[in-house]
Homo-oligomer: A and B are copies of this chain.
Amino acid sequence: MALSPKEKEALEFIEAYFVDNGFPPTVREIGEAIGFTSKSSVYKLLRRLEAKGYLEIVPGEARGLRLIRPARGIPVLGKIPAGEPLIPYEDFEEVLPVDPSFFGAEKLFALRVKGDSMVGAGILPGDLVVIRVTEEAKNGEIVAAVLTEPEPEVTLKRLELKNGTLVLKPENLSYEPFVFEKEDVARGRVKILGVMVGLIRKGLNPAL
């Protein structure tokens, strides 16, 4: 079910508060944060959030709020990132229950690997690659990039920069590198989303 603006604001506040403090906020604190003067209004809003499945109210208990979706995690990028702001943190069905600070950064997302073009770097199809959002990548780093032509597509490759040209190298001899000249980059035919900072595999070989 969709969230009204105030409901969304409240839910985001609760999650942020939880991350900062280690326990949920009180009804009053939520009210203050979203600009409600009456606690009963907040309470009703919480009931709505409960009905919509975003949290659970434990009756009678101080700070008795239980968040359903994990407050802290790494969102999995499902579709191709068309828009620019990127990572609206909504729109992600799946969130990995992993504290982002473990990978040394806050702005992260995960990408499910398709294909075996990076097996040489120990990256199997089905693996979840953790990407730190940045446009600045160094030589030799593995980057997530979006190729705009012929149609938008996200790919994971090792980056190689030599005097102006940008090369995306697979880690598998059966595949050819992608080479972009200076003007290709300038025209936005390739765009770096971020650099790989980690990997999470569920199962032995997730593709099977």
- Identical chains bound together, number: 2
Q: Is A21 an interface residue (CB 8 A)?
A: yes
Question: Across the interface, do A102 and B202 meet the contact criterion of CB distance under 8 Å?
Answer: yes
Q: Report A54-104 residues with CB < 8 Å from chain B CB.
A: 56, 58, 61-67, 70, 96-99, 101-103
**A168 on the B face (CB < 8 A):** no
Q: A204 at interface (Cβ–Cβ under 8 A)?
A: yes
Give the CA-CA distance A96 to B66 in the complex, in Å: 23
Interface residues of A (CB under 8 A from B): 21-24, 26, 56, 58, 61-67, 70, 96-99, 101-103, 119, 121-124, 127, 141-142, 196-205
28 A-B pairs, CB-CB below 8 angstroms? A21-B66, A22-B56, A22-B67, A23-B23, A23-B24, A23-B61, A23-B63, A23-B64, A23-B66, A63-B63, A70-B99, A96-B102, A97-B98, A97-B101, A97-B102, A102-B202, A121-B204, A122-B122, A122-B123, A122-B124, A122-B201, A122-B205, A142-B204, A197-B203, A197-B204, A198-B203, A199-B199, A200-B201
